[in-house]
Amino acid sequence: MPLPAMEYELLKRALSAMVPAVGISEITTLPKDEEQQFRAWVGKNRISDVDHPNSHYDYRGFWKEYGDVPIRFGIDHFPDTYKQHGHPTFSIESKYSQGMGDGGMWLGDTFVPPIVRR
């Protein structure tokens, strides 16, 4: 027997808060002219893992928000905002997190992984 529409929507919202979205791109799309500017910034800052499947970071999103800022390796740190699912310290601070339980959290400088319930 199918659920009434209102109950279905409530259940769908509750489940989507617990399960990461599937099929949603975690890479910011840039228009052609901005992509060229982004690529110049990447080269200037010697970022070598852009588009590498194991980087798990949306550098385009970072660039779109912060612009042509210089990156000093070993000094500067990319914020959690653009970490993608699969990053070892993916947290609820990422714009790609679906909320509590979909990523760990930071307590000061300590990363606390999400609780996995079985």
Overall domain count for the chain? 1
Supply the Cα-derived Rg of the chain in whole angstroms: 18
75 is a domain residue: yes
pLDDT category at 7 given cuts 50, 70, 90 is low
Whole-angstrom distance, CA of residue 93 vs CA of residue 53: 21
In a domain, 7, yes or no: no
Task: State which residues form the domain around 103.
Answer: 30-112
Q: What is the mean pLDDT of residues 18-45?
A: 85
pLDDT at 28: 96
C-alpha to C-alpha distance for 45 and 71, rounded to whole angstroms: 6
Q: CA-based angle 17:77:92, to the nearest 5?
A: 10
Is the confidence at residue 24, as pLDDT, over 80? no
